[in-house]
Amino acid sequence: MEKLYFGSATDNPELTDAQYCTLLSNTKEFGQITPGNSMKWDATEGTRNTFTFAKDEAILALAERNGQKVRGHTLVWHSQLPISNGGFDNATLISIMENHITEVVKKWKGRILHWDVLNEIFNEDGTWRSSVFYNTIGEAFPGIAFRAARAADPSAKLYINDYNIDGTGAKSTAMYNLVKKLLAEGVPVDGIGVQAHLIVGNVPSTMQNNWARFASLGVDIAITELGIRMTFPADAAGLSQQADDYKNVATACINVPRCIGISRFHPYKYSWIPAIFPGQGAALPWDEDMVVKPAYAAIAGAL
């Protein structure tokens, strides 16, 4: 069993922020780092079969200096994907996908503990999301992707990651069924990544049951992108509710033995949330000035 960690996503531009880097490098706070953007397809293979790794190296160097685990994010995703317009036949796209996975995973072999091999492949109703991968390769693409990743780094733990699979529901059931099927076919899936982009006061009460159900398949669970957002600016009632919500997430993870850790996504002023959900934010246990909020003590109390 892996030791439970608390981790953070980070991105290259903010690495010049000394106050932020001091907090990020404090291993009493963070035992794990996820590059927020620099390992995505558009960052690593902007032009077909030309690979660039300088940005990832900067984040890996920071994590390794601090002795922090690294989660690779992400190999196969419909977004930030230069080849998303398609126009390939089945065999060509399989070879492009396998080549991407092989080159990126091989590059960081032995240095990435967990890989998000697949990201966000389901619709909310549990059907397959339309993507160049699904539309061209069909239901075979997940198995092909996982096998390529395992071949490129046999020691990395391989994950399928998604949002809105926090509590039970159609999308969670689709995830459960697919992982069950892949495992039955001998596909090397080691874990399910639960992004956990949550909303204050609206955190599902079924998280623990849902994660236990995932774990019953024999895979690990990682909470990969936790944030619990609210209308900005935060008020006292919101902060107090947020503390309860964070405590519930931490408790659910602790109560599911195969839940291996919790990562928060993109902190403070660097957050992606206000751009995607206007007027919302304040999603993390630290405020914009990096001062701890009530949620911090609530998490600590749950551990």
Point out the catalytic residue in the list 45, 57, 103, 120: 120
- Return the number of the residue (81 or 239) whose C-beta is nearest ligand XIL: 81
Q: Does 157 contact ligand XIL by CB under 6 A?
A: no
Residue with tokens 């006061």: 201
Supply the minimum distance, in Å, between the C-beta of residue 37 and ligand XIL.
5
120 a catalytic residue? yes
User: Which of 10, 32, 44, 119 contacts ligand XIL by CB under 6 A?
Assistant: 119
In terms of C-beta density within 10 A (0-12 exposed, 13-18 middle, 19 or more buried), how is residue 296 classed?
middle
User: Is position 225 annotated as part of the catalytic site?
Assistant: yes
The answer to the question of residue 37 lying near ligand XIL (CB under 6 A) is yes
CB of 272 to ligand XIL, least distance (A): 4
Q: Report the run of H or E that residue 137 belongs to, with start and end.
A: helix 132-137
Choice from 20, 176, 246, 272 touching ligand XIL (CB under 6 A) = 272
Q: In the set 7, 31, 35, 36, which binds ligand XIL (CB under 6 A)?
A: 36
Phi, psi of 167 (to 5 degrees): -100, 180
- Minimum CB distance to ligand XIL smaller for 272 or for 294: 272
88-117: which residues touch ligand XIL (CB under 6 A)? none
The phi and psi torsions of 191 (rounded to 5 degrees) equal -165, 160
User: Which residue from 77, 4, 67, 65 is spatially nearest to 36, judged by alpha carbons?
Assistant: 77
Q: Closest by alpha carbon to 138, among 90, 80, 97? A: 90
Euclidean distance between CA atoms 239 and 247, whole angstroms: 12
For residues 303 and 14, give the distance between their C-alpha atoms in angstroms, rounded to a whole number.
Answer: 29
38 binds ligand XIL (CB under 6 A): no
Of all residues in the shown chain, the one whose CB is closest to ligand XIL is 272
Alpha-carbon distance of 263 to 225, in angstroms, equals: 5
Minimum CB distance to ligand XIL smaller for 37 or for 242: 37
Contact residues: ligand XIL, CB under 6 A = 36-37, 119, 195, 225, 266, 272
Q: Which residues are catalytic?
A: 120, 225
